[in-house]
Each structure stands twice: as C-alpha cells, then as structure tokens.
Chains A and B, each alone.
Chain A
Amino acid sequence: MSESLVSVRDVSKRYVKGKERVEVLHSLDLEVPAGDFLALMGPSGSGKTTLLNLIGGLDTPSSGTISIGGDRIDQMSSAQLARWRARNVGFIFQFYNLLPVLTAQRNVELPLLLTKLGASERKRRALTALKVVGLEDRAKHYPRELSGGQEQRVAIARAFVSDPTLLLADEPTGDLDRETADEVLDLLQILNREHGKTIIMVTHDPRAADHAKRTVHLDKGSLVDQAAA
C-alpha cells in the first residue's frame, strides 16, 4: 500500500468529569494509507466516534500525535482546525444533518461558502456533486421532501463537494433499510475507487463493512486486530 494519509500514534483520549477520569482511547496507533476504505467496528461505547472526531479535527487528543497528509492536527488551534477541516475532510453522519431551511443544492453548496469561488462556480460544482450522487433532479427540493436515502446522498455530496482527500462517515447507513443502505455504500465505494477518496467509516453492520477494503475493530478504547478485507 502507498504511504499513510492518516497517521494516529500513541493517542489517548481522556474525559474528566468532576473527580472522575474516563480514558476512552488508550495509546492507540492507526495508519490509514491514501486511497483506503476502512471500516471501523466495535461495540457501543468502545470509542469509535471519539476516534473519528479526533481524525476529523473536531476534537483534540489528550496525548499522542495525529497527522493527516503531513499536517499535525493535534497541535492546531480551533480556528486552524476549522480552516483545515474546510479544506481536507468531509463528514457524513448517521442522521444526515442537512440544514432544513436550505434546498438540496444549497446544502451541498454550503462548504463552498468557505472558499474563494464565485457564486456561479459554486452553484455549478454543487450541481455536479448532486449529479454524482444521482440527485440532480432534486436540486430544488428541501430535505423534508426527500427520503432518508436521498437525504444521505445529498449529505455525501456535501461531504465531497469541496474535494477533500478524506471522508469520515459515522454509521452512515445506521438509519437506512438494507436496500437504501446498499445504494449509499455503493456510492461510497465509487467515491473511493473512481474519485480516489480515502474513507473511514464507523459501522455496526458487518455487511456494510464488507463494502470497505478492510476492517479494524475497536474494543474498550484499543484496536483489536487489523485484518485486510
């Protein structure tokens, strides 16, 4: 495999609540090469979301280093992280998290507001992204007018519209039925294979994990095994 895009080294994450200290991740190491499609599995509460948030620069580790494409994101300030996220990472959530007041096209366009692109170019790119997920005819629809699967596809379009190298998905099919879930997973696969996106996907569903190139298991804050799929 090519060299690592994501490099998590000796990372611990502790939460302090009053006198209690909960260590959610223990000296965790994880390398994800560019172009990988990694499924992250594990029981509830094992720390999957926590790890994903750290890799996506939404949170910072208590100790250890995280570098993404050579950027040491564990040392960035929150303003730096915001800027870094806008350029390098796209998030996909279990509950889609589209803004209800915006149409599909404008939801997709949202991350582009942080770029220097002009209005017409932003619109063009948003429509292109919608075309990739097969929803160009739904551009003017509001989230409430879309099915769950369609909403998730819009959310995926929003995640890659600004062309980040890394896509992070937290149980993207957790709220979808089998068939719709497969459509979404196929879409992620296309993004991985044809558009070269590196994807890390948290999932509880072994069949979803089958779409990934490999799967790692997290248990009580440590990686258990790292078998190639």
Chain B
Amino acid sequence: MNTLHLVRKNLGRKKVRTLFTGLSIVIAFLLFGLLGALRNSFTLGVELAGADRLITVHKVSLVQLLPISYLRNIQSTEGVDKVAHFTWFGGYYQDPKQQFFAAPTDPEMLFEVYSEWKIVDGSLDAWQRNRTGMLIGQSMATINGWKVGDRLPIGSTIYAQSDGNRSWEFTVEAIFSDGADGANEQALYFHYDYFDEARQFGQGQVGWYVTKVADPDTSEEVARAIDIQFANSAAETKTSTEKGWVQGFAQQFGNIGLIVTSILGAVFFTMLLVAGNTMAQSVRERTSELAVLKTLGFSDARVMRMVLYESLMLAVVAGGIGLLLSVVMAGGMRAAVSQFLPGFAINSDTLLTGVGLIILLGLITGLLPALSAMRLNVVTALARR
C-alpha cells in the first residue's frame, strides 16, 4: 500500500457521488475539446486562405452566374497574375442529400491559381487530356474509396445533360493533395468545356472567378479595379480576398471564438462548483479520520497534500477521459464535417490548454478542503464525536 492507494480508496468511498462528479468533468472536457475543434476550424479557414487570392462573385448573390467573357477582362486587369473560374455543380454520388463540392473548371488554369497543389496519384496530363476525366482531392478519394481509373456517375442537383439525364459520368484521372491540412481536398473538378457543351442551360456562364494577384500587398486595389470594369453592366461583381471571404462566411455565425470561450467559461465555472462541493463534502465527512491520521504522525502538510492529490486525481482521470474522448470523436467527425468545417480538429494548443485547465480544476477544487484539513485541530476533532 502507498499514499496513492489511500487517496484512491477515499475517492471511492461515495461511489455514486464520485461517479457523477467524474462524469460531469468528462462531459465538460469532451465539450471543451469539440468546441475547441470548432473554433480551430473557423480560425484555420481564415488563416489558410491565401491573401494573394481574390474571389469574384455576382454582386447580387452567390447563386447568380457571371459571363465567361469576364475571364478575359479580369486577366488583363493590372496586377492580376492568373485567373480560374468555377461553377457550383451541386454534385453528389448516389445520395442527393450528401452533396459535396464539385465544380467544372479549366484544367490548365486551376493549377496556375492553386500552384501549391500536388498530384499524388494518376497524372495531371491525363486529366487535362481526357474531356470526361475528373480530378479529386485525396481525402475525397480516401473517404469514398475511389481510385484512379474508376468511372463514376456523379449526380447534379442543378444541371442536366442535353438529353435530360442528371447523371454525369466521369473517370478519375488524378488525385491531388492541397499540401496543407487537406481542407481543400473534399473536392472534385472536371472540364468546363465538356460541361458547357453538354448542359441543358446556362451556356457561357460560370459561378465565380478566383484570381491570383502578382503582389499580395496590392490585393485591395486589384479587387477594386476588377469590380469597376463591370459596374453598371447586367452582371455587376463583388471581389474580395479569399481570406476576407472566408471571414465573412464565418461571421454569418457570429463571433465563434467569443461564443465558444463564453460557453467554456461557464462550463468551467460550473465544474469548479460541482467538483469543489464534492471535495468539500467528502473532507467534511471524515474529519475524525483526518484527525486519526494526524495522531499517527501524519504531518499537517502531508494531510493537506493527500486531499489535494484526491481532487487532482479526480480531475486528471475524468478530465483526461473527456479530452481523450473529444480527440477520438473529433477524429471520427472530421471526415463527415470537412466540407463545411475544414480543419475541424483538436490541435496541440487546445490539448495543452485542456491539460492546464484540468490541473487548475484539480488544484482549485482541492484547495479549500486541503487547507481546512491542514488546519484541523486533532484534539477538538477527536473530542467532537
């Protein structure tokens, strides 16, 4: 036997109470981890978005299309390096409720704008040459188990082919990695030329343009210069940086960071009260036992430490389980939510903060009971019974 054995046994004396307190700590830190992942996802998207890329959309709304002829105008705007265009396809595989990002684009221009992307399987050349070939992101390939050479029917919730068929067949020719955290890999691209010829309506129109600027410092001016050209036309544009765009998107949900922090603050405070009360009660119940330990020669400091160990053990075990669960769950959810919440993951900062909070929780909740255990007077405690 050692001191830890006694500490453990003391925690087990009121099993139901310890279990419930432990469970609420588990849930609190599970929540901490998952909300942390959510916050990461929102800040990560903003951080990863290139400052040197601009997005041009229809001024009225995202769903309105822009003429393909704008490509030439944008390309010749001063400060513009490369341009690519995309169109929202509303793609799905087998189940229309499970939509993913699929877009017709220009196979040459795509890699000029996203030059950091790498082909990890198949060949870029093969995709560029095959009009019905498609390029898919690595995580999309992994999740669906798709390989180079697979011929797949991709459904569209928007576009039918000229014969009325809403199912489009493409062959996987290449798989790419975005060279970062994979946030852009839940995606599927195919040839715009082929798409434009085959579709029933909307010919000559695209969804949005992505522009790579020559000098990121001039992004603001370039964006303005692009929009000015189309002012007072039938399709006016709105151009912003990719970063600003992601930020604006995130802000539709309010200040996520602040919301998450407030929720976690409230949860932590509640935990302090719950665990603190458990500890205080548990120490009050065994005043005479603590006094006996002191008669045996356990010093005041030692008795105090034992109480602190107890609250620490409760916090560390329960909080640890909660954090661990959150990592496992976030890992499991990651793929499912990656399209809407890219970068949904618990990073080491969140984990370290979690560990810090666990220790803080253990220390704070144990502090008062530990101090009263330390100050406990043996003679009066033994006489009180």
Contacts and interface: CB of A to CB of B under 8 A. Distances in A.
B374 to A, nearest CB: 10
Given A83-B297, A101-B13, A93 B382 contact: yes
Nearest to A111: B296
Contact of A95 (B5, B379, B385): B385
A114 B306 CA distance: 13
Nearest to B380: A59
A106 B1 contact: yes
Interface stretch (A25-33, A35-43, A84-92, A127-135): A84-92
Interface in B282-338: 288-289, 292-301
A216 interface: no
A84, A86, A93, A101 — which one has the most chain B CB atoms within 10 A of its CB? A101
Contacts of B294: 58, 82
A53 B379 contact: yes
Given A99-B289, A106-B1, A106-B5, A85 B297 contact: yes
B252 interface: no
B298 A58 contact: no
B228 interface: no
Majority SS at the chain A contact face: helix
B301 A110 contact: no
Contact of B298 (A49, A84, A114): A114
Interface in B371-385: 378-379, 382-383, 385
B224 interface: no
Place the interface of chain B in its size category. Answer: 20 to 34
Interface SS of chain B: helix, strand, loop or mixed?
helix
B297 A97 contact: no
Contacts of B13: 100-101
Contacts of A85: 295-297
B1 A86 contact: no
A83 B299 CA distance: 7
A49 to B, nearest CB: 7
Given A95-B385, A99-B289, A101-B13, A87 B2 contact: no
B12 interface: yes
B115 to A, nearest CB: 65
Contacts of B378: 53, 58-59
A56 interface: yes
B263 interface: no
A114 B379 contact: no
A78 B296 contact: no
Interface in A100-130: 100-102, 106, 109-111, 113-114, 119, 122-123
B6 interface: yes
A93 B300 CA distance: 21
Interface string A47-60: 00100010010110
Nearest to B297: A86
Contact of B299 (A79, A91, A95): A79
B372 to A, nearest CB: 16
Interface of A: 49, 53, 56, 58-59, 78-79, 82-87, 91, 93, 95, 97, 99-102, 106, 109-111, 113-114, 119, 122-123, 158
7 contacts: A86-B296, A100-B289, A101-B6, A102-B9, A106-B1, A110-B296, A158-B296
The 7 closest A-B pairs by CB, nearest first: A86-B297, A101-B9, A82-B299, A85-B297, A97-B292, A111-B296, A106-B1
